[in-house]
Amino acid sequence: MNDAALNRRRFLRGMGALLALPSLEAFMPRAMAASATGRAVATTASGAPLRMAFLYFPNGAIQSHWTAEGAGADFRLANTLEPLQALKHRVQVISGLEHLNADPGNDGAGDHARANGTFLTGVRVKKTAGSDIYAGISVDQIVAQNIGRGTRFASLEMSCDPHRKSGGCDSGYSCAYESNLAWRTPTSPLSPESNPRLIFERLFGSGNPGERGESLARRRAQQRSILDFVMEDAKAIQGQLTHRDKAKMDEYLTGIREIEQQIETAEGFKDIPDPAMVTPDGIPRAYDDYIKLMFQMTALAFETDATRVATMLLARDGSNRSFPEIQVAEGHHSLSHHREDKDMIDKVTRIDRFYADRFAEFLAQLESKQDVDGKSILHNSMIVYGCGNSDGNRHTHSNLPVVLAGNGGGALNPGRHITHKSTPMCNLYLNMLDSMGVPQMERFGDSTGRLGEV
């Protein structure tokens, strides 16, 4: 095959449809190439849907203002988590969990990329700024792959940080690690959507109430036709590829087939709720309004049973956003390296509290929505709120700031402060996988076993 036959601008073509190919060795000069429907569902004992969400805030937390006082049910929320007071009976503050695969080891700098990449995978991500990224399948995607066919969308990935997703971002690590929480495979992150309008249209269609169902059906038909048109061309190309290219192409086509399956699944749900809400205009100017709107999208997705699995990246680890809403002009990351400066610590604490306020508002939304069994949606949910960095000043990954909210439909025992001793966070994930009905796994990430009662 010569360079003209398969160049960097090659697309899969069919009936006027175009679908870009992934990067393949065949795109490179020869010398470079040589070197280089039964639906499983998650339900509670009462038969209501069981939901799971993972919410990530950046740069660790000021531990002295985060850690709860007291143990078990006899505990007091510290200043940062005080916004959760009204829902104290619905949350567990969990101390002592860790992600040691985010530690430097032999890889040196890059704690922000590792914190993000390890948070839901529990593995040591490959240090590379190129396209040869490697992490692990994230816990949310294990659930999605097991129960996702029971809802219109297997999972929902969102971000309040429209950040570049390619190139290098942190000391030799690809931006892919900082920009994504969910990983479908060790080499395939699921890029989160940062525009609330696009999320809304994906869930409910565009246009005015009453018209959205038609636009959604039209988009499904268009998506399916594009995939149908290009598959023949895709299969024809495979016979011309190198061994490594074939493996990459197989993975790419698997992804396309999964999209086809998602469309087929969505078509099986004829009655799509049309919430009495004006379609969002896009990304709000104010960051607090942005987060509130994205959480509203998440709550709607859970309420309408569009999905039971969601991830939200409030901001990538290493984010240097300023916070005029709370009179903090300096960047978050810069302030997190406070070197024990009292004024800087105070400002980071205010940022920590800002994120906790938004989290509390989201939980209040879920608590206010009645589920099909008469309980609240929050009661029938498991919501992890946390960060892969513990101390932003020293970049540590032990004793992570973690809150587990919701009753898990009765599987969890909230209203407590629980302290573990140097325990992998993946142990908690094993418990959650069990609760979501995933066939029992002996190990996930760096787990050493399940937690005791949660």
Q: Is the pLDDT of residue 250 over 90?
A: no
pLDDT tens-digit series, residues 117-147? 999 999 999 999 998 999 999 999 999 999 9
DSSP secondary structure letters along 107-138:
S-S-HHHHHHHHHTT-SPPP--SSS-------
Give the CA-trace dihedral at 257, 261, 266, 267, to 10 degrees: 100
**Span 241-268, average pLDDT:** 66
pLDDT for the residue 31? 36
Most confident residue range from 176-180, 240-244, 278-282, 302-306: 176-180
Question: In whole numbers, what is the pLDDT of the chain averaged over residues?
Answer: 85
Q: Give the type of residue at 348.
A: V
pLDDT band at 51 (very low <50, low <70, confident <90, very high): very high
209-223, 231-245, 329-343, 435-449: lowest mean pLDDT where? 209-223
pLDDT at residue number 424:
98
Cα distance between residue 143 and residue 441, in whole Å: 12
Mean pLDDT of 425-429: 98
What do you get for the CA distance between the two ends of the chain, in Å? 58
Considering only 75-79, 201-205, 289-293, 372-376, which range has the smallest mean pLDDT?
201-205
pLDDT exceeding 90 applies to what percent of the chain? 64
Q: Domain 44-197+279-435 classified CATH 3.40.720?
A: yes
How high is the pLDDT of residue 35? 38
Nearest to 277 by CA among 213, 336, 223, 200: 200
pLDDT over 60 (residue 164): yes
Residue ranges of the chain assigned to CATH 3.40.720: 44-197+279-435
- Higher pLDDT residue, 297 or 230? 297
